[in-house]
Structure 1
Amino acid sequence: MDITLRQIRALLAIVQSRSFTKAASVLHLSQPALTVQIRNLEAALGVKLLDRSNRAVEITRVGMELLPVLQRTLGDLDAALVDIREIGAGRRGTVRIAALPSFAASLLPQVILTCRRDNPALAFLVRDAIASHVVAMVRSEEVDLGLTGGSVADAELDVLHQTTDHLCMIYPDGHPIGRKRRIGVEDLIELPLILTNPGTSLRDVIDAALLGIGHTATIACEVTYMMSAVAMVRAGLGVTVLPRSAREVHVERGLRSKAIDDPAFVRQIALVRKKGRTLPPASVTFLDACIAAMQTMER
């Protein structure tokens, strides 16, 4: 016969009150039902736990030895149930997300701060990576959510939200390009460009836009990180093209940014998950906050 939580709670209530009548009242049981609980517990353990007389109820010597174990077991389980309820409500757990570096450094910190303000016990695992790696991590379930760039046509992924990220040119203060009222794709043809590596969602947009008018980029330097591209611009090696969402667009002194007025210089952004997989409640909490932040960015 198995031991149940009700049986343990029944024993502890009787020991505390030293009365079947009082314990039955606390547990909202009839006295016969409470008696059955204790008999079943004693049968499961194979020992007598209580000595009952007309005047009082006393715990036996063996029962006294078992009492700390039962109290600790019940306490640990109660604590575990609290944790489980917190996890189920999305107030505890680990959010695992992969994101493009531009969004990992701009959008995500504020979203995480918002989530942690309401749910301090949430933990976060953020993997910043290029678009193809973001998709791969979601597909392999290394992360639960991915914030990726470019068109997502993957049968294994669900797109939860889509938006766009406009691109802009970053150039030194005083550069001739800054005197133009409008910057179009044709203005990039002869400029020395500092671009992120081929295969990144940002580079794909730039290469496709130039190819659309029959040209390829004049590469001054290729880099992995946007911050490196900005440093190259600051050194006078050329100009770069970054997404408007990139934190680097806003923090550098001596540099200017201007939107590229061409519909080809728009990067598609998608929030994705693995198709057919249920998100943990913590990730659902984060998802709602992330979509709200993306919608604010759109406005």
Structure 2
Amino acid sequence: MEITLRQIRAFLAIVQLRSFTRAAAMLHLSQPALTVQIRNLEAALGVRLLDRDNRAVEVTRVGLELVPVLQRTIGDLDAALVDLREIGAGRRGTVRVAALPSFAASLLPDVIVTCRRANPALAFVVRDAIASQVVAMVRSEDVDLGITGGVVADAELDVLHETTDQLCLVFQEAHPIGRKRRIGLRDLVDLPLVLTNPGTSVRDVIDAALMTIGRTPTVACEVTYMMSAVAMVRAGLGVTVLPRSARETRVERGIRARAIDDPAFARPVVLVKKKGRTLPPASLAFRDACIAAMRRALRS
């Protein structure tokens, strides 16, 4: 015979109140039903827990030894149920997201702060990585959500939202390119470029755009991080191309950023999840906040 939580709660209520009548009223049970619960518990344990006569109820020695054990069990279970309800309501839990570095540094901080203001018990794990790594982490379920660049045509992923990120030419304030009224694709052909590594979403856009006119970039330097690219530009090594979302274009004095007037220099950005997998409630709220922030960024 199995021991049930109803039986344990019934026993503890009787121990507390020293009365079947009062315990039955507290548990909203009839006295015969309460008596059956206790008999079944004693049968399952193979010991007598209560001595009862017409005047009083006394707890046996074995029953007294079991009381603290059962109280801890019920206390731990009640605490776990509270935690589970908080998690189910999206008020507690860990949101795991992978994102392109430009979005991890620009969009995500404000979104995370907004979510934590509403639910301070939320925790976040952010993995900033290049586009292919973001996709791989979502596919392997290392993260729940991913913000990645480029067109995603992966049968294992669901695209939850799609937007675009305009690419800009970043150059020293005194550079002659800044005097042009319009900066187009052909203006990049002979310029020494500081570019992010092949395989990054920004580099893919640049290479594909130049390929349409039969050219390849004149690479002065390849770097991994956008901040490194801006530092190379500041030192006079060349110019670089970065997404509008990149904070690096706005933190360096003497550096300017201008949009490249060519439709090819718009990077698709998508929010993705693993197909067929249910997002945790906390990640659902974060997803909605993220989509709202991506829409606001596009309007601005």
TM-score w.r.t. the length of structure 1 is: 0.97
Aligned to 2:16: 16
Aligned to 1:221: 221
Written as runs of structure 1 = structure 2, the 5 A alignment for 1:27-38 is 27-38=27-38
Asked if 1:41 is matched to 2:16, the reply is: no
Aligned to 1:110: 110
Aligned to 1:266: 266
Q: Give a deviation string over 1:139-178, Cα, whole Å, max 9, x none.
A: 1112111111001111111101000000111111111111
How far apart, in 2, do the equivalents of 1:35 and 1:89 lie? Answer: 37
User: 1:130: Cα distance to partner?
Assistant: 0.7
Aligned to 2:276: 276
Paired residue secondary structure (1:166) = strand
How far apart, in 2, do the equivalents of 1:6 and 1:27 lie? Answer: 9
User: 1:207: Cα distance to partner?
Assistant: 1.1
User: 1:125: Cα distance to partner?
Assistant: 1.5
How far apart, in 2, do the equivalents of 1:171 and 1:109 lie? Answer: 27
Q: Give a deviation string over 1:226-250, Cα, whole Å, max 9, x none.
A: 0100000010111111000011011
How far apart, in 1, do the equivalents of 2:180 and 2:24 lie? Answer: 85
Written as runs of structure 1 = structure 2, the 5 A alignment for 1:45-64 is 45-64=45-64
Written as runs of structure 1 = structure 2, the 5 A alignment for 1:73-84 is 73-84=73-84
Paired residue secondary structure (1:257) = strand
User: 1:31: Cα distance to partner?
Assistant: 0.9
Aligned to 1:122: 122
Unaligned runs of 5+ in 1: none
Aligned to 2:208: 208
Aligned CA RMSD, in angstroms, stands at 1.1
> Which stretch of the first structure deviates more once superposed, 1-10 or 113-122?
113-122
Aligned to 1:185: 185
Matched AA of 1:127: R
Paired residue secondary structure (1:143) = coil
Aligned to 1:151: 151
How far apart, in 2, do the equivalents of 1:42 and 1:219 lie? Answer: 81
Aligned to 1:99: 99
Paired residue secondary structure (1:94) = strand
Aligned residues: 299
How far apart, in 1, do the equivalents of 2:47 and 2:117 lie? Answer: 51
Percent identity of the aligned residues?
Answer: 81
Unaligned runs of 5+ in 2: none
User: 1:264: Cα distance to partner?
Assistant: 0.8
Q: Give a deviation string over 1:44-83, Cα, whole Å, max 9, x none.
A: 1111111222222221111111100000010011111111
Deviation >3 Å, runs of 4+:
none
